[in-house]
Amino acid sequence: MLRSTLDFLGASIVPTTDTKTWAVTVSHNVPIHVLASQFTAAGAEVQNVLAETRVIVATGTDEVAARLRGIDGVADVSEVPVADVGPPGAEIA
């Protein structure tokens, strides 16, 4: 109830305590596994270290994401994008 009321009041931009999944893009000048260990220290739970694409998938709150953005070598922190193809039998897919 509280959350929906805040949303209604336009307060949804306020960082929440919800845990989200983040796609963290990292630069080439820092070893990715070193960064992953720093993420853990920052309070994130590392789900997947994608060395080929230099992306780390991690979970944490908005506050954790803000801390990740401050780590040297982190280029971007965005919520993991969602994609779909529609339900089975969709007219257009």
Partner 1 sequence: MAGRKIESTPDELYRAALERGGDVSKTGRYIVTFKPAAKDIAAPMLKRKYGLNTASAADFEGQAVVFDRIFESDGVMLPEVGVAIIGGEAFEEHQVAGASVSEADDEVDSVDPEYFAFALDVNPADYLKGFVRAAQVIAADLQPSAALRPAITDIPAALTGVTWGLAACQVPSSSFSGSGISVAMLDTGLDFNHPDFVGRAVAFNSFVGQPPQDVHGHGTHTTGTACGIATPPPPNPRYGIASQAKIFVGKVLSDSGVSVGGSILAGMNWAIANGCQVISMSLRGLGQVQPAYTSSGAAALAKGLVIIAAAGNDSHRPGQIAPTGSPANSPTIMSVAALDQNLQVAPFSNGGKIDIAGPGVNVFSALPRPRLYGTMSGTSMATPHVSGVAALYAESDTSLRGAALWTKLQSTAKRLPFPATDVGAGLVQAPQ
- Contact residues toward partner 1 (CB under 8 A) are 21, 23-25, 47-48, 50-55, 57, 75-76, 78, 80-93
- Please, what is the minimum distance in Å from the beta carbon of residue 89 to partner 1? 4
Nearer to partner 1, 2 or 93 (CB): 93
The tokens of 6 are what? Answer: 């805040």
- Cβ neighbours around 26 below 10 Å, total: 25
Lookup: tokens for 4: 């929906």
Nearest C-alpha neighbor of 78 from the set 11, 12, 32, 21: 21
Q: How far is the CB of 35 from partner 1 (least distance, A)?
A: 13
User: How near is the Cβ of 75 to partner 1 at its closest, in Å?
Assistant: 7
Name every residue whose Cβ is closer than 8 Å to that of residue 18 and which is 6 or more positions away in sequence: 61, 62
Q: Which is nearer to partner 1, 1 or 81 (CB)?
A: 81
